[in-house]
């Protein structure tokens, strides 16, 4: 997958998680985790 494809998949996963857990702290933690995973992958 390209970085754009991975990013789009992560965005949709993030939207699903936000629907389940709207907690802003959880969303921030998730964004930080996703960012570090993308940085490591590329």
Its domain, for residue 9, covers 3-41
pLDDT for 10 equals 81
Q: Residue 37 belongs to what H/E stretch?
A: helix 24-41
Distance CA 36, CA 21 (A): 21
Q: Is 14:31 a contact under the CB 8 Å cutoff?
A: yes
Question: How far are the Cα atoms of 4, 23, 36 from residue 26, in angstroms, in the given order?
Answer: 24, 5, 15
Q: Is 38:3 a contact under the CB 8 Å cutoff?
A: yes
Q: Encode pLDDT of 1-42 as tens digits.
A: 687 888 888 888 878 877 887 778 877 888 888 888 878 876
Domains in the chain, number: 1
Distance CA 14, CA 41 (A): 18
Q: What is the pTM of this model?
A: 0.47
pLDDT for 7 equals 82
């Amino acid at each position: 997958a390209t970085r754009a494809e991975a990013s789009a998949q992560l965005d949709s996963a993030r939207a699903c998680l936000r629907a389940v857990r709207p907690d802003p702290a959880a969303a921030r933690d998730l964004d930080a985790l996703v960012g570090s995973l993308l940085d490591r992958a590329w």
